A and B are shown apart, each in its own frame.
Chain A
Amino acid sequence: MNNDPIIRLTRVSKKFGQSMLAVDDISLDIREGEFITFLGPSGCGKSTALKMIAGLLPVTAGTIEITPQSGVSEQDLGFVFQEPTLMPWATVFDNVYLPLRLAGLKRSDVEARVKDILKEVGLTRFEGSYPRELSGGMKMRVSIARALVTRPRILLMDEPFAALDEMTRSKLNDDVVRLANENKLTVIFVTHSVFESVYLSTRIIIMAARPGRLVADMPMQRPWPPKDEWRTTPEFTAEARKVSETLKGTLNANDIDH
């Protein structure tokens, strides 16, 4: 792990239309191996920021550099959407194979690779199933496998588990931590859950809405990778309270009206 930033945002802004300022002047350095969460209420531009980093949205002002010195290019990005976003007409195998297929790689050449990643997310038995036959949590695993199959060094996740039940969510959180640790990933994770962010991250970026802006940058003093038991410790509760207080302070009168 070196200390040069792997991703650098410099005075990044995003406007939708003439007046909607979704992201206002954000500067941020992200270093290799960090597990960062963007935490904030809806409308704070956290997803927008993530999509700009992924290159899915153009910036209105400022620059986003994915630092070339560290050998990272945009192809090294994996992206997980809020919904599983699978192709319903394709099997689990074909869904995971998609990024490699689009890169022009032959099925026979990468079959083992796709199977390996399916094994890592625990879906070996389901490679021939269609998405409709899977539970919500399993679909999300397919989505994660697809993001990891290109062996990215950066994983971007946009509220990936917001629609899942608590049990599935905490299981998947542990899986993401394990995968990030094993594959030495830099992760940017968008969420509106304080507990999720405290459990997962080495650093929390708190954002506020209207306009979407960065209000706090909180490095976490904590054991990482986290163990499940950590959720019940006083340290965890203290961290969560701290983050929660900071988050509350960012809510302005506008938001309380809602």
Chain B
Amino acid sequence: MQTTSITEDLDAPVNTAQLRRAWREQILTWVMPITVLIIALGLWEYLVWHYEIPKYLIPAPSLIAETLIKDGPSLMASSWFTVKLTFFSLGLAIIGGVLLGALFALSRPVELSLFPFAVILQVTPVVAIAPLILIYVDSTFAALLICAWIVAFFPILSNTVIGLRSADHNLSDLFTMYRASPWQRLRYLLAPSALPYFMAALKVAGGLALIGAVVAEFVAGAAGQHTGLASRIIESSFRSEIPRMFAALVLVSLLGIVIFLLTSWASRKVLGHWHESEIRREN
């Protein structure tokens, strides 16, 4: 059970070996992947140029970049639509997942009666439900929102339930001994205990919300004047404008990366000072 005392750590001067190690870590996490990416793009560019591959098959990265700039304004509008859809559905998934999760954790009967429906919602592929939702819901945006929400909501729900139940039993006894109110118990014990589980779910749900948004839009087709990146991909494919397909694809990927970085950053921010999963170990 003994772990090393903090005393040395507090008094130890910041030594250069440590700094050097931190610097190397920085290089490994940023410079290496970026270098590899640049090399891959260069190779791609070279191969397309060398074999004279027509742009309607595989466009060169330079052409994709050009398209990104040329079609910038219209692609940005589509991106904004997808961004809105993704974050809106993620927000609703968080609200719905946490509220329902809390209800499940509080009441066994509620959990037993509603959980099967949550599972059905989760296991039925969203592609299969989307056409129905598009028929029943007037507003396309609302229909897409529901689809993306269905996909993103389940991990948050299930992890919130597990998290709220994972509080240490002895700590729970302690709260009982000191006559904690239900609110105090939630605020000071259950919520912090659930946080690591919730943050893990958030990372998954962030990616799923984007997938849900894109898939739903594919099903909805290119119809309507306000359309997202997925519609632009379909539209470009109909017109055989392959460079623009790639450009839209790049933007979808970028959005996914941004979501991943945001949720990872949030997780580190919230758990970094205490939870094993986010603690950076020395040595």
Which residues of A come within 8 Å of B, CB atoms? 51, 54-56, 74-75, 77, 79, 81, 83, 85, 87-90, 98-99, 101-103, 125-126, 129-138, 150, 163-165, 168
Contacts and interface: CB of A to CB of B under 8 A. Distances in A.
B128 interface: no
With a 10 A CB-CB cut-off, give which of B1, B2, B175 has the most chain A CB atoms.
B1
B177 A54 contact: yes
Nearest 3 CB-CB pairs, A to B?
Answer: A136-B1, A85-B170, A102-B178
B192 A79 contact: no
B6 interface: yes
B176 A88 contact: no
Given A130-B274, A132-B274, A132-B279, A99 B178 contact: yes
Contacts of A99: 178
A79 B177 contact: yes
Contact of A164 (B1, B173, B180, B274): B1
B122 to A, nearest CB: 30
B274 A85 contact: no
Given A79-B174, A102-B180, A138 B5 contact: yes
Contacts of B178: 98-99, 102-103, 150
B269 interface: no
Interface in B181-196: 184, 188-189, 192, 195
A191 B172 CA distance: 23
Contacts of A98: 174, 178, 188
Interface of B: 1-6, 9-10, 168, 170-171, 173-180, 184, 188-189, 192, 195, 273-276, 279
Contacts of B174: 79, 81, 85, 98
B183 to A, nearest CB: 11
A89 B195 contact: yes
A118 to B, nearest CB: 15
With a 10 A CB-CB cut-off, give which of A54, A135, A136, A164 has the most chain B CB atoms.
A135
A81 B6 CA distance: 23
Contacts of B279: 132
Nearest to B180: A102
A126 B7 CA distance: 9
